[in-house]
Structure 1
């Protein structure tokens, strides 16, 4: 089950970012320091009680004038409606009800997505309750008084959000079909790849009926296997502001990656791998998804016997945090190697679901430890007792040691390399959890 996505919508200065930060806790950075990942926080993972969801901040760009306000709000609401499962509509008790609040409420109502109406800046419930009731006029159900700054009412707000996400989970039957998101910067050929895959005689295409969130999903049957492709190329509407476009394409990408098992990152061969590519790759890596890098427009590159080697090296350098990613060179235009894609997807799916017996893992562990001594600090040496696999998608291993502090990142990586040498695990990240045990246990 993918994590539900919750978006915050509201006029400028109603406190969206304050609410976002209050909900996201102190985790201010979007992802760890992968190269090329800027720290503009567009999304964050929120855990409330036992529930987890991904929070998206649709704001970020403020309109310059009153006239632009409505179109700005509309754009923001559109992006939220398109990508989110639950929407928090934030209004400001001190400014009261304004025209653009009504317009946004209309859009949200028509979308039939669950909306939680939150009235912000209520730092004294007794004093402001009469003003809060005014927002019943929006016809969006009960307004919930909160104060992002003083963190009042946040728990009730989250309870309400979780109620909606639980209903969504009830609505979704378990879909076993692998979901593949095709992501990348605008104009790298994402749509042409999907169209090429769909346009072949060997492929049976069926539109997926049902939920609105699957508006751009396509079911594809290839050699009796069904795949669901999630197209993020929905960014057809041209935006006047460049950073606007970039921010929204990232929001869309987060939404698609969240729902996918495998992410195909499309890179333009002529342009080479860029910082924006690294940003998108970082999102998929952090989420533990299967990853295939498709270098498109390969037909346009002049080649000699070293071309593939040079391009591969460059991609590996920029995306050095994901050496496991599968790389393929394709052309959506000529169809070159397009069908290899299904084969690679199949392999990655198998690797993501691979389970390794504890006995076998510990043989590899014993050998690895014998070849390279675990680190020590002030005379105390790291002891590794044993290792076991606890999950798949991505394959997740727990390592039991005498001291967590001694388990350096570099030694975990060394063990990961040993496991990969034995089992490959191409295209999927591996997750390691280090647990401490006392000698006697």
Structure 2
């Protein structure tokens, strides 16, 4: 698939163009210079059948250490791309630094267009656009992303370099050999490959090492790493293949206390919560040098809220304090009671110590996250638990568990058919959950058990 990279200096409208081409508000936009810091990706379709991967890069500004790293990654994206869109601010006079960068990219000998943004009307085009002719670019497009002005010529130009998608042999066979009813029936059947796609959220406080861990997992510098807390703003997606699995990692913005969230970070927090609704597994990073803080507990609460599979990753183990392993792990267990089911692994993203083991943990947790216990075995386990400890009565009223069934996966959800569900105490449900964890492998997976009357449907079943 062809790659198209949008480059330019900070605050010229790159993310706005990215959102316009992607037809959704995916990249965070603001008037704050340097809002985009990592590479944002999306699959874009133009002219119905032409697909390409669009890359939104950080503003190229080498004025300080953080933005020098952003600039380095942006230029690397240009080298990997097939087509380059270099964007400038049409409200300002042409800048010598812009010309220098444009010529540097032009030397890559790839299709390149100069995008003059913020040309909002014909008058501005007549007064300002001609000044940018001095770049000597063969392809120049005066546009206004915010006003959706004159984007069609840019689309037409892109079509030259984005080939139409070819129909696969399978799709041709489906068109020719199957009836509409058969195709609909096939579409409704679950696809095995969907069970091999895992979405993993990397969570933690600012500057705990989330971006460093993502880079270590990928084996390349994909996220900007800096000592400056709050470097990552946009969630950053990256997919790798591990064994038979396709794992998509999302490196989220560091979660602060609400009173500390300023400016564009409030958008980042909203994106993080939205992403958690779609994730399967969360990696919760803990800083080994500081241990668990109150904010770490709040983040653990978010993982519990969205019922995600979980792995606790203790980072910076190479520079940990004086605590021995057993003591450090027990302290984490005592503080993060929300995630009692989550395994713990100690790593160093900087030295890559034990980082590779995280991938095996992810796939193992995912298998448990989507597992379905046969009804007969489930009821055997429940009856075993009841024989060990009978269901407590409530003020003389007898409570009977008649049947159990698993009605959903990801996470596993189990319904108990009970004669008086409102009288089944939560402590007994917790006892049943612990028994099921003893009987079946649910490590790293939340387990939901609800009591229902016969004929009463759970929310997921409706």
TM-score under structure 2 normalisation?
0.52
> Whose radius of gyration is greater, 1 or 2?
2
Tell whether 2:209 aligns with 1:192: no
Q: CA deviation at 1:175?
A: 5.6
Aligned mates of 1:139, 1:435 — CA distance in 2: 54
Match of 1:332 in 2: 349
Q: Which runs of 5+ in 1 are unaligned?
A: 1-57, 59-70, 83-109, 111-137, 141-172, 206-213
Q: CA deviation at 1:319?
A: 1.4
Q: Is the 8 A contact 2:405 2:415 kept in 1?
A: yes
Aligned mates of 2:266, 2:335 — CA distance in 1: 21
Aligned mates of 1:301, 1:224 — CA distance in 2: 35
Tell whether 2:239 aligns with 1:222: no
Q: CA deviation at 1:317?
A: 1.5
User: What does 1:231-310 align with in structure 2 at a 5 Å threshold?
Assistant: 231-233=251-253, 242-244=260-262, 250-302=269-321, 307-310=324-327
Match of 2:450 in 1: 433
Aligned pair partner of 2:396 in 379, 384, 402: 379
Aligned mates of 2:325, 2:320 — CA distance in 1: 10
Match of 1:415 in 2: 432
Q: CA deviation at 1:242?
A: 2.8
Aligned mates of 2:361, 2:346 — CA distance in 1: 12
TM-score under structure 1 normalisation?
0.54
Tell whether 2:409 aligns with 1:392: yes
Q: CA deviation at 1:251?
A: 2.8
Q: Is the 8 A contact 2:235 2:251 kept in 1?
A: no
Match of 2:19 in 1: none
Q: Deviations over 1:143-192 (max 9, x none)?
A: xxxxxxxxxxxxxxxxxxxxxxxxxxxxxx99651111111111000000
CA gap 1:234/1:384 in 2 versus in 1, 3 angstroms: closer
Q: CA deviation at 1:322?
A: 2.2
CA gap 1:225/1:261 in 2 versus in 1, 3 angstroms: same
Q: Which runs of 5+ in 2 are unaligned?
A: 1-27, 41-117, 119-145, 149-190, 223-233, 456-462
CA gap 1:248/1:278 in 2 versus in 1, 3 angstroms: farther
Q: Deviations over 1:325-383 (max 9, x none)?
A: 12111110111110110110011001001111111111111111111111111211211
Higher relative contact order (CA 8 A, sep 6+): 1
Q: CA deviation at 1:234?
A: 8.0
Aligned mates of 1:331, 1:417 — CA distance in 2: 32
Q: Deviations over 1:376-405 (max 9, x none)?
A: 112112111011111100001000111112
Moved over 4 A (4+): 173-176, 245-249
Q: CA deviation at 1:321?
A: 2.3
Aligned pair partner of 1:424 in 423, 427, 441: 441
